[in-house]
Amino acid sequence: MRLNKEIRLIIKKAIIEDIGREDITTLFTIPCHYKIEAIIIAKEKGILCGLDIAEAIFKERSKNIFFKPLKQEGSKFKKNDKIVYIKGDARAILSGERVALNFLSLLSGVATATRNFVDKIKGTKAKILDTRKTTPNLRILEKYAVRVGGGVNHRKRLDTAVLIKDNHLRAGKFLTNGKIDEKRLSKCILHLKKIYSLKVEIEVETFEEFLSVIKYKPTVVMLDNFSLKQMRQATNYRDKYYPSVKLEASGGINLKNVHKIAKTGVDFISIGSITHSPKAIDFSLEVLSK
């Protein structure tokens, strides 16, 4: 991945958070001229993500670190697989170890969780989307990990797409007593399309709301917590009358039901859990004896 200024700042902050002024344990146990070789090993299976981040962390500690990946970014690995070979300044490697492993663990966890969902919907047209349920200040990395896992990114920030959710409808008085003020909403959608060259997505919670909204041809209609029957009704109606409108399923989606949801004909399936609660993948760094 391209390590832009935002990512390099994340790396520097993570190193400062972990090391502080100095790694005093390493400073007083390892002579400054010592060189070592080490291997990063996977303690469980998963999808690999974060190699460039890990390398940048070690090289932030010493420019002369030799970092050789033994697995490719996005590849599958199993327990006890060797992931990276590292050689160079002992102090730099030991002081950068935890930060590098933490990023590998988190990002590989996101990529693995995403791939698990992607594999479940093979053979359908649906795509797995992430959400904004990300770790504060790490969104750019977690969304990258979603792509590595085979998923697709939803909007990056609030200024990159329009998503009118139920709270917007209620707070803006577009929705009262379960009914949408179609006249006001249509004016809002037309105004947004005119001003911004961005996609416009609207969340609906009932089939009646769906019928009220789709006639104004937003880019995407989000079907929040729809039953499988309702999703099929919505996709059939869309296919017949508004084929250009995309449909996104969200809410209550897991590995057990995602394939059935994909089979209803929706275009996207958004899943917050792939970034807000993925299982971290365990890695360890082992210094090689001579």
Point out the catalytic residue in the list 60, 130, 205, 224: 224
Point out the catalytic residue in the list 55, 201, 203, 209: 203
Residue 136, judged by CB atoms within 10 A of its CB (0-12, 13-18, 19+), counts as exposed
Closest CA to 107 of 181, 189, 23, 14: 14
CA distance 223 to 113: 22
Can 157 be counted among the known catalytic residues? no
Can 166 be counted among the known catalytic residues? no
Angle between the N-to-C axes of helices 51-61 and 90-120, in degrees from 0 to 180, rounded to the nearest 10: 170
- Using an 8 Å Cβ cutoff, are 73 and 49 in contact? yes
Residues for the chain: how many in total? 290
- Using an 8 Å Cβ cutoff, are 12 and 77 in contact? no
Tokens of 229: 């029957």
Q: Which helix (H) or strand (E) holds 263?
A: helix 258-263
Point out the catalytic residue in the list 98, 132, 199, 263: 98
Point out the catalytic residue in the list 87, 147, 165, 263: 165
CA angle 112, 165, 267 (to 5 degrees): 50
Residue 287, judged by CB atoms within 10 A of its CB (0-12, 13-18, 19+), counts as middle
**For 37, phi and psi rounded to 5 degrees?**
-120, 145
Can 127 be counted among the known catalytic residues? no
Can 133 be counted among the known catalytic residues? yes
- Name residue 170's beta-bridge partners: none
Can 71 be counted among the known catalytic residues? no
CA distance 14 to 162: 32
Point out the catalytic residue in the list 133, 147, 193, 232: 133
| Residues recognised as catalytic | 98, 133, 165, 203, 224
